[in-house]
């Protein structure tokens, strides 16, 4: 919906009835799982879940569940847009950024192709293949970054070029200069989608600011990763209003749940949440990578809450042996059969990972 249309549903200037009453900082974090529980470091989820403030917002949001939460959604859009120097019409809410990605594939490909890296997040390719759209898989370069020049050469007029940056599963960054070069030299009519699901963990500059000058750039962000809301399902699509309207042909009135929206508001207003979780994740990640390096295992240069380990042989048997010891790690990508992805859990998770990994790779 356009900025005016979306507001007309509830009237301009409507305020959230409960926001001013919330005490965001008083919710306790639940106790960690016992040692008998499996270590789940396989889906890039946050080991900490929603922040204390977001948990309290969710509880308060239950009171609003008898009504459609349009006003909460518009409030989130306004706050996020103001924080990033955008207009409200340049931000759209989705029930998870995966949904926005799938809609982008539907909107911008067929018969024109999809171009993406390999390995990378598979949802875009899966959506394209389900519709018979040609898919060009381009290997990451020697830095494990997107090979922008090869992506440009893959098709003279693709419908969509997809970059996950930082990349899943490698956790590696593609330099901002490469993305800007891609935007400069891409064919007219080709949409570039930069998926920033993991941007909050990294030192990289977001591409959100580039949407003002690039009408065919779409940026996605999510609350599933650093914000710890994977089970609450909320993502944002950022682009010029005309581009977002092309997504809405396949979406209609896409409204998230009231508790989810209020939790997102609490999260983006918490100035300490991103830097604290970023630092905690980096410390645990680098400790684990250093431990693996001491034992002769090479890892990707990750800036996210996951990394990949070169096992120097087939990775799937190691995944299965770890699972038998109660440690669940990520799957194996067919193009990298000797590598396995590991998500960063909390301190207890990573200690149990090291114990199990040492046992299954001994000798």
What is the set of domains in the chain, with CATH numbers? 58-269 (3.40.640.10), 274-360 (3.90.1150.10)
The residues pairing with 195 across neighbouring beta strands, listed in sequence order, are 164, 220
Return the closest-CA partner of residue 103 out of 260, 257, 249: 249
First-to-final CA distance of the chain: 60
Distance CA 340, CA 131 (A): 29
Instruction: Mark the ranges of the chain whose per-residue pLDDT is less than 50.
Output: 1-30
pLDDT score recorded for residue 35: 60
pLDDT tens by residue, 295-336: 999 999 999 999 999 999 999 999 999 999 999 999 999 999
> What are the CA-CA distances from residue 54 to residues 109, 222, 257, 300 (Å)?
37, 15, 14, 32
| pTM summary value | 0.90
Could you tell me if 134 and 114 are in contact, meaning their C-beta atoms sit under 8 angstroms apart?
yes
Could you tell me if 22 and 52 are in contact, meaning their C-beta atoms sit under 8 angstroms apart?
no
As a whole-number percent, the residues of the chain with pLDDT over 70 amount to: 88
Q: What is the DSSP letter of 200?
A: G
pLDDT tens by residue, 166-184: 999 999 999 999 999 999 9
pLDDT score recorded for residue 17: 40
Take residue 304 and report the two structure tokens written for it. Answer: 């996210």
């Amino acid at each position: 919906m356009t900025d005016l249309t979306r507001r007309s549903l509830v009237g301009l200037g409507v305020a959230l009835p409960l926001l001013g009453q919330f005490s965001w900082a008083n919710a306790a974090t639940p106790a960690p799982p016992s040692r008998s529980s499996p270590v789940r470091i396989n889906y890039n989820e946050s080991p900490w879940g929603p922040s204390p403030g977001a948990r309290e917002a969710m509880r308060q949001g239950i009171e609003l569940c008898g009504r459609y939460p349009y006003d909460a959604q518009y409030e989130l859009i306004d706050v996020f847009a103001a924080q990033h120097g955008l207009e409200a019409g340049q931000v759209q809410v989705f029930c998870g950024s995966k949904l926005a990605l799938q809609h982008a594939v539907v909107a911008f490909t067929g018969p024109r192709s999809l171009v993406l890296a390999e390995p990378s997040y598979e949802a875009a390719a899966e959506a394209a293949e389900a519709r018979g759209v040609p898919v060009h898989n381009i290997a990451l370069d020697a830095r494990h970054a997107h090979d922008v020049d090869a992506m440009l050469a893959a098709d003279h007029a693709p419908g969509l070029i997809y970059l996950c940056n930082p990349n899943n599963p490698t956790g590696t960054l593609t330099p901002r200069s490469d993305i800007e070069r891609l935007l400069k030299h891409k064919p007219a009519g080709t949409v570039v989608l930069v998926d920033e699901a993991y941007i909050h963990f990294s030192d990289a500059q977001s591409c959100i600011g580039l949407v003002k000058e690039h009408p065919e750039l779409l940026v996605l962000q999510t609350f599933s990763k650093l914000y710890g809301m994977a089970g609450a399902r909320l993502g944002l699509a950022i682009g010029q209003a005309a581009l977002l309207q092309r997504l809405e042909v396949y979406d209609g009135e896409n409204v998230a749940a009231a508790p989810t929206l209020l939790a997102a508001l609490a999260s983006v207003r918490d100035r300490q949440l991103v830097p604290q979780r970023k630092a905690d994740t980096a410390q645990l990640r680098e400790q684990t990578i250093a431990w693996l390096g001491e034992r002769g295992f090479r890892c990707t240069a990750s800036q996210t809450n996951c990394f990949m380990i070169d096992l120097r042989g087939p990775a799937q048997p190691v995944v299965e042996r770890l699972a038998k010891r109660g440690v669940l790690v990520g799957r194996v990508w067919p193009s990298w059969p000797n590598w396995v992805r590991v998500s960063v859990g909390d301190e207890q998770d990573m200690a149990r990972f090291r114990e199990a990994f040492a046992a299954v790779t001994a000798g």
